[in-house]
Amino acid sequence: MKKIIEFDVTLWTPEDYPNSAVITFLYDVVEVFGTKARIPVRFSVDGHEFR
């Protein structure tokens, strides 16, 4: 079963990786997903969807 969590967040760029975008997940990842592994993420910016 897929878990869907929706929230608004500001994207930020680390100085060491200027071509990357990072989000800070506002929840306890292990509690919500049961793992610290990478979690598949879908998001949209101005109506354009990214994965």
- At residue 30, the 3 state secondary structure works out as helix
Predicted pLDDT of residue 1: 66
Predicted pLDDT of residue 9: 86
Predicted pLDDT of residue 42: 84
Taking the chain (51 residues) in runs of 10, the rounded mean pLDDT of each run is: 81 92 85 85 86 85
Buried b (16+ CB within 10 A) or exposed e, 9-35: eeeeeeeeeeeeeeeeeeeeeeeeeee
CB 9 within 8 A of CB 24: yes
CB 15 within 8 A of CB 6: no
CB 11 within 8 A of CB 23: yes
pTM of the model: 0.50
Q: How many domains does the chain have?
A: 1
Q: Domain limits at 39? A: 1-51
